Structure 1
Amino acid sequence: MIAVRHLIRVSLALVGLFPWLGLSLDVAIHQECVAAVFGIIGNLNFEGVGYGEYYLGLCQNPLKATSVYAISRAYCPPNDLDTGFTYFGLACQTYGSVELIPEADLAANLTAQAVNSFPILDQDDPRVLTNLTTPILISREWFELGFRTEVRFLHSSSSKSIVSLSRRITKIIQDTWDYEARTHAAYGYAMYGFWGGVLVIGFLHRIITLINESRLSPSSIGPEDTGRADSREKQTEKSRLFVSMYSWIRKNLITPSALPPYRRQSLFGCTIPTRIEVFIVLSYWVVSFILCCVNYRGFKGNLYWSAVAPQIWRYIADRAGIMAYSNLPLMWMFSGRNNVFIWLTGWQFSTFNLFHRHIARVATLQAIFHSIAYTAFYFTSGDAVDYRASFKEAWWCLGVVATISMSFIVLFSFSWFRRKIYESFLLIHIVLSVVLIVALFHHTSIFDGEYNPYLWPLVAIWSFDRFLRIVRVVYCNLHVRLRKKALHRSVAAISYDQDANIVRVDINTHVKPKPGQHYYLYQPFRFTGWENHPFTLAYWSQSTEETAQIQTGSPATNNATNPPSRIHAVAEDEYILSFWIRPYDGWTRRLRDMCLKSQPTSKLSSVSRQAILLEGPYGMAEPLWAFDEVLLIAGGSGVAAMIPYILDHVSRAAAGQTRIRGLTLVWSDHSAKASIDSLPLPSPDEISIENTCKETKECGVLKDKEAAEDIHEADSLIFRTGRPDIPMLIESAAASAIESGSRLAVMACGPGELADTAREATHRAMQNHSNSVEYFEEAFGW
């Protein structure tokens, strides 16, 4: 254990050799020579003060201090001495908490006559292993070996004269250990540079998008008016190069999947990112791997580890550990819901979550390499006994705990666990993350807080995100109405439609809803009340003084003409938000069972006045209003994401704030016919709902041609049995848009296969129709 403590002491001294002083390279060069001298003398034993204590003996033992002064004056250039001795004194104060004996106090032992009487020792002299009783000098060969340990030279003359040595000193690149320490830190900071660059590009992309949207007139224009298309053509002529580049990036990098047709669908249990996401992730992996493998300067004869192998293993261990620590703040930053960069870049949470997972995987591998490399270091340096003894040290064991915790976090974060046991995954994730932070604080506590700047940001980011979550919950669910001196709180009503297999949750809030938003729902008075689940806002209505109430269906009122039953009154300036949830496992299944238990024989079961809390809103609306034609494609409960855009379009059309001339909704669902009466679409007076295909076989909107005969009409909606031919629908809409000089927006939300089919078909349309088509997808990824 003495060897371990000595190694730690040497490491601390060397890691802080120059950076803590903040010196320039020129100043560092002038102190290297003296640093090399006291680095050699410090490892020798002299009788007297400070025996066995590194800095106390080096700084307060007259024999050691005299040796340092004498050897430095013998071998170091005169202009290096003052800087070197100043650093020597500061090192004594900083690392040993003692004062260096001034040279003047030892002047009697530093005369030429006295120095000439000092024995000159070589590295192999047997006296170096004894307790020395007089000051000493060392051979030039030993000095230069020690100097090489501290200093890296450019290739130059091998002359050993003082003049040649002075010239070589001026050509120093950096001291070997300090070079490695600086390189480790610099490569850690390189990760911030990489992701900072990615975020800057994302921010610039968002700025360009917002500028383009602002240049488009929001006023509605009739289908016969083609003035917009002409003006757009002129605009394109003025900025053809820019538009061409932006269109190429969107068509070839942003929209298509890296492995079409897979994007939302799983391929061997993995989701496939877009091409631009894969490019970023692969670049990050490659950069991380390269930076972990380059610029190690080992040489035979190093005074600390004479063989090359332990030097390289030690440097690899330190590099991997520091880079793993550097990645931790990035990992935490990309994981939070309340992330300012989501707003700045306009990216979906799923994109940040993708980056978060890959940063975690890289950091975990670096932590594993750190552990492996330290193990190899101990065994190659001949300290296997000390390695086994190290497991009795708390800081060492907690490092092992941290590595194991990171490994399990990554293991349980794979998509299979997230889909199958989401609640357990979330709990494991949080608990192990807390264990990780605590373990890392203790693991590097021996470095006197040197690594805390990597760790405290984790606490700050986590605390800030949790604080904002609480603020959002309070803001959404409590509303102080000063005029009436009343406090309104949110209350939920839950209903389950067995035909549609949809759970509907209605909650009142004063927060004004918008399309593209999602909220997290809590049921706080359950045993697992901390669980929260994200759901897209499907529908909303504003309360009025006469009809302000949360509503839900009941068996007696389950038809198209009678309104749902009234549950309780709400404030007239509040909104009723509706969430349509397809029950699967876990919490959604429990909601369904709760409704069935209350009214087991009803097709529309309901439970009223439930304490469910909202947290949000999160997400941003896509700029569909800036397009001339909009095609909405929904599958199953994915229609919940489309209705808010229809409501928004109706509102904007009434105010003359949309460019949309035609909006089409294609909804594919097994139970759509059974549940269509409860679909809260705007009335036909507000928006025309029709299907332009009169005969199924002619327009080819179905893939299952044999099922085309089963066609039903209800009001202005047309039902067809079979799977819609999504590619043909998109191709037809794109061709129509390009023919009329219009811009087409395609938005999809639904099962993975439907969304991937829509993405691939839209990508083909983008290739064929230049920049007239754009794709959007409503999907939550975690």
Structure 2
Amino acid sequence: MIATRYMLRISLLLVGLFSSHALSSTISVDQECVSAVFSILGGLNFVGIGYGNYYVASCQNPLKVASIYAISKTYCPPSDLDPGFDYLKTLCRKYGGAELLPEEDVAANLTDEAVNGFPVLDQADTRVMTNLTTPVLISRDWFDLGFKTEDEWDFEARNRERYGFAMYGFWGGVLLVGTLHRLAAHFLESRQLPLPTGPEDTGSADSREKSRAGTKSLAYLYSQVRKRLTTPSVFPPYHRQLLFGCTIPTRIELFVVASYWVVSFVLCCVNYRAFEGNLYWPKVAPQIWRYIADRAGVMAYSNLPLIWMFSGRNNIFIWLTGWQFSTFNLFHRHIARIATLQAIMHSIGYTAFYYTAGYGEELRTDFHQPWLYLGVAATISMSVIVFFSFSWFRRKIYESFLLIHIVLSVVVIVALFYHTSIFDGQYDPYLWPLVAIWSFDRFLRIVRVVYCNLRVRLRKTRLQRSTAAIAYDQDANIITVQINTHVKPGPGQHYYLYQPFRLKGWENHPFTLAHWSSHPGGQAGSTDVLSRIVDGSAVTSIEAGSPHGAVEGENLLSFWIRPYDGWTRHLRDVCLKAQTKSQLPAIHRETVLLEGPYGTAEPLWAYDEVLLMAGGSGIATMVPYILDHIARTAAPNKLRRTRIRGLTLVWSNRSQAFIKQIAQRELAATLARDDIECMFYCTNTAKESLDSLPLPPKDEKSAAEECKGMAESSVLKSKEETDVSEAPDGATASIRMGRPDIAGIVEKAAASASESGSRLAVLACGPSEMADAARAATYRAMRQSHSVEYFEEAFGW
């Protein structure tokens, strides 16, 4: 009983040692022997210098230091002595603020004769609990037990750091594969040389030139990856649609996410070594709980930079891999869930450790310390963030979710700095990257906002800012926002819009660039909307016509927004409030800031046939690609970079009014082209009869004139200007009734492309059900042919 009591008291002393330095340092194997001696003697008291002060006594007390030197030379290999003593010197400077006494200062006690006269203590010796007055040796059994205890602890410490870094190795490999995949795609696209797109081109099988064997092999591998991994969802047809409230990933996304869950779970569960009689905690249970808690905590810390890295808009890895933001956001959510579970396990493990080791009272005392209760606060905050990140909350209360997300993320960072402050900055390398990543992302956001919205006009030497004109069409249920900027527009772009002078001016929302008009300069005195916005005159309506006189280098960007809740509903209400019975629609002038551009254009130009599938406001994605195609075909032969010989647009929308407006304005130049076919579907036929759209006479304009006409057409028109009327030659384009047969259209296009030896690209953007139907149909077509590819424009959060 007496021996047991002594051992328990020594263990308690060693726990103090453990808390002060063993946790905070990972040592090399050749330092373990001397460290074990240091740990054992740390629990003994010697009279003289530093009595009662752990590190001062261990580093400066001549009796204790002589004992450390003597025991180390007795039991440790000679090759371990210098590394071990160097490690002790580091501990003395870092934690004791003193130097380890050099061997020369205690040389008189280290002669063979002196060492042979040292008393030899074992764990059961009553003298271990007294104030020792001479240097001592320890028994071999006690040293072996101390070395085994040190070795086991260092083994666990090294493992938790290695397993934490394994998280970076995993995601580094994933991002490397994504980057290589994009490089392969870019290489294959560059091999697809532009072909003639004139009327004489028949689109025969010669569209695919013979390639070298290496290129063919790479193309086949790339095709197989897209067909079997990146395109199909795990549970077709669900992908954008929720299944039991859950987002369904593609096969490759599931493989990555599931692999990370498995790797994280396995690394949290393996390679624990515990034994009875451990000098820190004699029983096995507290050892296991402590090792689990520490490993889970370190791995949770390791995941934090990954969480922040995958969450930012300005992410270099988005640029390298070409993945959509929704893919990064999917990985972000799963890493956050794993880190939160690890944090919870860390908290549970430490609580179990305190009680199984007999330190329940100490836990109640320590809970008043900031490092402990702020650690609990961080775990709770992470749990709340994860709870509110589930799809129901993100879709129903997005603004509240976002505010909770940001505020609690700041709480987590601050709390974790305090939580691990007792380790003298050892864990700061996990935390400062969070601050750096967040600051970098916010800094680039500010740079983008300033670049997009402020510019200096050299002619008048004055600072000019962007201004927005906003209108709401009740018949179409669409808000149109036009903003002037010097940023170069293009397909595949989206921007975040701010309304800075609102109470919640920090809110920003992503919208796809739907259309643009370029203004290289022209005659003065124009009354178009852009010049009036720039000059600051009142805007009451937006008139059609050529935008001459606009500021040199300006572009008028247009966004089509369907109002729902939150900010979009606010925009609608503002427009309705400004609207009068005699003015339909009314134009509201507002300060709206752009942040962007984000997103990249899909390489549709590298395909022979293109099928665009749009639903609702998803037409905003398709119009820029049509504009781009027209511009490419109108360019001189040397600048022509397109293989497209046939482009088909399929657009379904509930409002016939919106279809008419877009068809007669932005798509007007496409209706008479031989290489573009437009198929319109009105899915809400209960309230109005279906009409035909006028088809401009063929051959009336050249391709260049058509492109210019589209670029110069105003986006916002009055209701009277969108009425249907017959074209001079009586030709019309009809609006079909009901929903399009997505599967049938895709299958027919794929079969036609296969027969002609053409490559077909399918791009979908619209409601979840429509996009998933297009994906599923394209996947079925891909299984029959290697010449079909699927692209999807979707923003996920």
**Alpha carbons 2:26, 2:158 under 8 Å: kept:** no
Between the aligned partners of 2:143 and 2:461, the Cα distance in structure 1 is 84
Shift in CA distance, 425/367, structure 1 to aligned 2, threshold 3 Å: same
Q: Is the counterpart of residue 519 in structure 1 residue 527 in structure 2?
A: no
Q: Is the counterpart of residue 688 in structure 1 residue 673 in structure 2?
A: yes
Q: Is the counterpart of residue 545 in structure 1 residue 522 in structure 2?
A: yes
**Alpha carbons 1:4, 1:386 under 8 Å: kept:** no
2:791 is paired with a residue whose SS is strand
1:166 corresponds in structure 2 to: none
Larger CA deviation: 397-406 vs 715-724: 715-724
1:292 is paired with a residue whose SS is helix
Between the aligned partners of 1:351 and 1:121, the Cα distance in structure 2 is 63
Q: Deviations over 1:215-250 (max 9, x none)?
A: 111243347646884363632766443333221111
Shift in CA distance, 703/16, structure 1 to aligned 2, threshold 3 Å: closer
2:594 is paired with a residue whose SS is strand
Q: Is the counterpart of residue 735 in structure 1 residue 739 in structure 2?
A: no
1:10 corresponds in structure 2 to: 18
1:659 corresponds in structure 2 to: 643
Q: Is the counterpart of residue 608 in structure 1 residue 560 in structure 2?
A: no
Residue 464 of structure 2, aligned match among 488, 491, 499 = 488
1:163 corresponds in structure 2 to: none
Listed as ranges, the matches of 1:322-361 within 5 Å are 322-361=298-337
Shift in CA distance, 515/703, structure 1 to aligned 2, threshold 3 Å: closer
**Alpha carbons 1:548, 1:572 under 8 Å: kept:** no
Identity %: 65
Amino acid at match of 1:399: G
Residue 424 of structure 1, aligned match among 400, 406, 411 = 400
1:747 is paired with a residue whose SS is strand
Give the CA RMSD over aligned residues: 3.1
Q: Is the counterpart of residue 584 in structure 1 residue 599 in structure 2?
A: no
Residue 714 of structure 1, aligned match among 675, 681, 693 = 693
How far did 1:567 drift? 12
1:234 is paired with a residue whose SS is coil
Residue 553 of structure 2, aligned match among 573, 584, 588 = 573
Residue 213 of structure 1, aligned match among 161, 180, 189 = 189
Listed as ranges, the matches of 1:125-274 within 5 Å are 125-150=125-150, 175-222=151-198, 225=201, 229-230=205-206, 232=208, 234-235=210-211, 239-274=215-250
Amino acid at match of 2:666: L
Larger CA deviation: 94-103 vs 83-92: 83-92
Between the aligned partners of 1:686 and 1:692, the Cα distance in structure 2 is 7
Shift in CA distance, 429/54, structure 1 to aligned 2, threshold 3 Å: same
How far did 1:415 drift? 1.3
Between the aligned partners of 2:259 and 2:791, the Cα distance in structure 1 is 25
Q: Deviations over 1:501-526 (max 9, x none)?
A: 10111111111110110011111111
Between the aligned partners of 1:691 and 1:57, the Cα distance in structure 2 is 87
How far did 1:16 drift? 5.2
2:625 is paired with a residue whose SS is helix
Amino acid at match of 2:359: D
Amino acid at match of 1:713: S
Listed as ranges, the matches of 1:459-478 within 5 Å are 459-478=435-454
Q: Is the counterpart of residue 108 in structure 1 residue 108 in structure 2?
A: yes
Is there any run of 5+ residues in structure 1 with no aligned partner, and where? Answer: 20-24, 151-174
**Alpha carbons 1:550, 1:570 under 8 Å: kept:** no
2:211 is paired with a residue whose SS is helix
Q: Deviations over 1:6-33 (max 9, x none)?
A: 74642442245554xxxxx6xx42x433
Between the aligned partners of 1:548 and 1:129, the Cα distance in structure 2 is 96
Residue 640 of structure 1, aligned match among 614, 620, 633 = 620
Shift in CA distance, 238/294, structure 1 to aligned 2, threshold 3 Å: closer
Shift in CA distance, 128/231, structure 1 to aligned 2, threshold 3 Å: same
1:69 corresponds in structure 2 to: 69
Between the aligned partners of 1:34 and 1:557, the Cα distance in structure 2 is 84
Between the aligned partners of 2:143 and 2:677, the Cα distance in structure 1 is 91
Residue 671 of structure 1, aligned match among 635, 655, 663 = 655
Q: How many residues align?
A: 737
1:97 corresponds in structure 2 to: 97
Larger CA deviation: 197-206 vs 599-608: 599-608
How far did 1:129 drift? 2.1
1:630 corresponds in structure 2 to: 610
How far did 1:111 drift? 3.9
Between the aligned partners of 2:468 and 2:33, the Cα distance in structure 1 is 75
1:170 corresponds in structure 2 to: none
Q: Deviations over 1:131-184 (max 9, x none)?
A: 22332222211111112112xxxxxxxxxxxxxxxxxxxxxxxx3222221211
Shift in CA distance, 734/703, structure 1 to aligned 2, threshold 3 Å: farther
1:754 corresponds in structure 2 to: 770
Amino acid at match of 2:251: R
Larger CA deviation: 724-733 vs 36-45: 36-45
1:235 is paired with a residue whose SS is coil
Larger CA deviation: 583-592 vs 103-112: 103-112
How far did 1:213 drift? 1.1
How far did 1:688 drift? 2.0
Q: Deviations over 1:348-388 (max 9, x none)?
A: 11111111111111111111111111111111111010011
Shift in CA distance, 275/4, structure 1 to aligned 2, threshold 3 Å: farther
**Alpha carbons 2:491, 2:625 under 8 Å: kept:** yes
**Alpha carbons 2:232, 2:776 under 8 Å: kept:** yes
Between the aligned partners of 1:703 and 1:500, the Cα distance in structure 2 is 13
Larger CA deviation: 726-735 vs 65-74: 65-74
2:700 corresponds in structure 1 to: none
**Alpha carbons 1:550, 1:566 under 8 Å: kept:** no
Between the aligned partners of 2:759 and 2:624, the Cα distance in structure 1 is 21
**Alpha carbons 2:197, 2:633 under 8 Å: kept:** no
Larger CA deviation: 463-472 vs 128-137: 128-137
Q: Deviations over 1:422-480 (max 9, x none)?
A: 11111111111111111111111111111111111111111111111111111111121
Shift in CA distance, 486/75, structure 1 to aligned 2, threshold 3 Å: closer
Between the aligned partners of 1:79 and 1:620, the Cα distance in structure 2 is 59
How far did 1:488 drift? 2.5
Amino acid at match of 2:754: I
How far did 1:185 drift? 1.1
1:401 corresponds in structure 2 to: 377
**Alpha carbons 1:364, 1:403 under 8 Å: kept:** yes
Shift in CA distance, 778/85, structure 1 to aligned 2, threshold 3 Å: closer
How far did 1:678 drift? 4.5
Between the aligned partners of 1:90 and 1:581, the Cα distance in structure 2 is 63
**Alpha carbons 1:548, 1:571 under 8 Å: kept:** no
Shift in CA distance, 133/203, structure 1 to aligned 2, threshold 3 Å: same
Is there any run of 5+ residues in structure 2 with no aligned partner, and where? Answer: 1-9, 533-538, 696-732
Q: Is the counterpart of residue 776 in structure 1 residue 791 in structure 2?
A: yes
**Alpha carbons 1:496, 1:504 under 8 Å: kept:** yes
Q: Is the counterpart of residue 319 in structure 1 residue 295 in structure 2?
A: yes
Between the aligned partners of 1:326 and 1:45, the Cα distance in structure 2 is 39
Amino acid at match of 1:681: E
How far did 1:745 drift? 0.8
**Alpha carbons 2:648, 2:678 under 8 Å: kept:** no
**Alpha carbons 2:11, 2:281 under 8 Å: kept:** no
Shift in CA distance, 636/130, structure 1 to aligned 2, threshold 3 Å: same
Amino acid at match of 1:688: R
**Alpha carbons 1:34, 1:72 under 8 Å: kept:** yes
Amino acid at match of 1:308: V
2:368 corresponds in structure 1 to: 392
**Alpha carbons 2:608, 2:646 under 8 Å: kept:** yes
Between the aligned partners of 1:281 and 1:313, the Cα distance in structure 2 is 27
Between the aligned partners of 2:495 and 2:437, the Cα distance in structure 1 is 21
Amino acid at match of 2:522: E
2:278 is paired with a residue whose SS is coil
Shift in CA distance, 548/605, structure 1 to aligned 2, threshold 3 Å: closer
2:707 corresponds in structure 1 to: none
Amino acid at match of 2:624: P
